[in-house]
Amino acid sequence: MSGPVILASTVDLSAFGRDPWWLVLGKAVVIFVFLVLTVLVAILAERKVMARMQRRLGPNRLGPGGSLQSLADGIKLALKEAITPTGIDKPIYLLAPIIATIPAIAAFAVIPFGPQVSIFGTWTPLQLTDLPVAVLYILAVTSIGVYGIVLAGWASGSTYPLLGGLRSSAQVVSYEIAMGLAFASVFLLSGTMATSGIVAAQDRIWYIVPLLPAFLIYVISMVGETNRAPFDLPEAEGELVGGFHTEYSSLRFAMFMLAEYINMVTVSALATTMFLGGWHAPFPISLWSGANSGWWPVLWFVAKVWLFLFLFIWLRTTLPRLRYDQFMALGWKVLIPGALVWIMAVATIRALRIEGYSIGTVTIVAIAMGVAALVAFAIWWQLRRRKRPEKPSAPDPSQPFDPMAGGFPVPPLPGQVAEAPTRRAGGGRTTPSGTPADPTKKEPSNA
């Protein structure tokens, strides 16, 4: 926890808000083009990487090696007929894809791509703008996008889209809490919520090193936040056909896909900014004096973003989809409690450092807290194991099996043989063991 502390009041944001109108417009257009092109390449890369992992070919027809497949799919979706189902809430049905797409793009306004550079003689940071609470702005804007999914499911007038929309709202509530708690330790260590200040605080050591537990919590949360496999439960085709976008087609369906992939880029860029030093060059490239100046930092930033995009693809190819109860239990019983414990540990260590305690004292306290957390976890695990009900023992195949013992016929287990009930002389029934059957129970009909 020995990283630099930058107080929020000392973060210099004077470089923002002074650009001429043409430069602001140019930055906005460049960000939009970057996001759209990244989505096209990401879709193609996902299909290629998944095919490679599953020993398939993937797209290989359109363009050299199938490189134009994503562009062709986008044009095809735009030119297909837009089918509008009957019985929908039409204004909300049409507005939902827009609500899902615009916040995904707007969140990139405060992501830093690099340091200050000269553009046509004007010195400006490679960032559209910055705020003293920029990270909170990103969380607020991205949380608005889920309204598009919820409203799409509700306005479709169908059961499965409605269930998918409700699942998405539950995911956002659950995993945005864990994501925000993971950011809290970054705020404590950097002393600011401005993205440019957080990147500047990582000029010597990236926060993934001292804040590794927070980084792991965020990585899991960002996959759940973007509804990606193995957490793609709002659009689980196994049980919800297609989820919230079942009733959408043509360009409206394409807008939902665009929003999903832009959200992937946004959370990847946020992870790069918060934990991987932002646009700072990795070691050993950082030993070069010009690695963090000029336009080179843009290359390091994009490379780190693609590292996380590859992680998304890898997870989708490797892991099966979780059950919904497992997904909710992971968020509420593991990630959120773990994030709370980690925040208390970071806050305690930072308070000791601010009070002037030596590194040795802080290290001893950190080790003691870690040991206490492990002991508490071991005790909780033992108590949890004791409370588990014992599994019922398997029935003995040698014992006679009565299919009507419970009042209704049941099939035999492997190794058991069911004997048909026999008639008694008085007209009643007996079970295979010879005991009289309950006369109030009717025999099953063969109809």
Tell me: the pLDDT tens digits for 29-61? 999 999 999 999 999 999 999 999 988 888 988
Q: CA angle at residue 446 from 443 to 447, to 5 degrees?
A: 120
End-to-end Cα spacing for the chain: 74
Burial pattern 171-192, b for ≥16 Cβ within 10 A else e, equals bbebbbbbbbbbbbbbbbbbbb
For residue 311, with 0-12 CB atoms within 10 Å meaning exposed, 13-18 middle and 19 or more buried, which class applies? middle
Contact present, 276 and 304 (Cβ < 8 Å)? yes
- Give, for all 447 residues of the chain, the pLDDT tens digit: 544 444 444 577 878 888 899 999 999 999 999 999 999 999 999 999 999 998 888 898 888 888 899 999 989 988 888 888 888 888 998 899 999 899 989 999 999 999 999 898 889 999 999 999 999 999 899 888 888 888 888 888 888 888 888 888 888 888 888 999 999 999 988 889 999 999 999 988 899 988 888 999 999 999 988 888 888 877 777 777 777 888 888 888 889 889 989 999 999 999 999 999 999 999 888 888 888 988 999 999 999 999 999 999 999 889 888 888 888 888 888 899 889 988 988 888 888 888 887 777 777 777 777 777 777 777 877 777 776 666 656 666 666 667 777 676 777 766 666 665 555 555 555 544 545 545 455 555 444
* Residue 404 backbone dihedrals phi, psi, to 5 degrees: -105, 15
DSSP character at residue 424: P
The answer as to whether 291 is a domain residue is: yes
CA distance 317 to 54: 8
Contact present, 224 and 170 (Cβ < 8 Å)? no
Tell me the torsion sign for CA atoms 45, 51, 55, 56.
Answer: negative
pLDDT value at position 9?
44
- Domain carrying residue 341: 19-384
382's CB contacts (< 8 A; 6+ apart) are none
CA distance 168 to 173: 9
Nearest to 141 by CA among 94, 92, 184, 99: 99
The answer as to whether 203 is a domain residue is: yes
What is the token pair recorded at 199?
A: 């990147």
For residue 170, with 0-12 CB atoms within 10 Å meaning exposed, 13-18 middle and 19 or more buried, which class applies? middle
Contact present, 172 and 127 (Cβ < 8 Å)? no
Contact present, 211 and 185 (Cβ < 8 Å)? yes
Residue type, position 433, single letter:
S
The answer as to whether 397 is a domain residue is: no
Residue 430: beta bridge partners? 422, 436
CA distance 62 to 362: 60
Contact present, 132 and 192 (Cβ < 8 Å)? yes
Question: Hey, is 112 helix, strand or coil?
Answer: coil
pLDDT value at position 423?
54
Q: How many domains does the chain have?
A: 1
What is the token pair recorded at 246?
A: 């079942």
CA distance 401 to 171: 46
CA distance 231 to 56: 24
pLDDT value at position 17?
83
The answer as to whether 379 is a domain residue is: yes
Contact present, 248 and 97 (Cβ < 8 Å)? yes
The answer as to whether 424 is a domain residue is: no
The answer as to whether 376 is a domain residue is: yes
Q: Which helix (H) or strand (E) holds 63?
A: none
The answer as to whether 428 is a domain residue is: no
What is the token pair recorded at 222?
A: 């960002």
Contact present, 65 and 73 (Cβ < 8 Å)? no
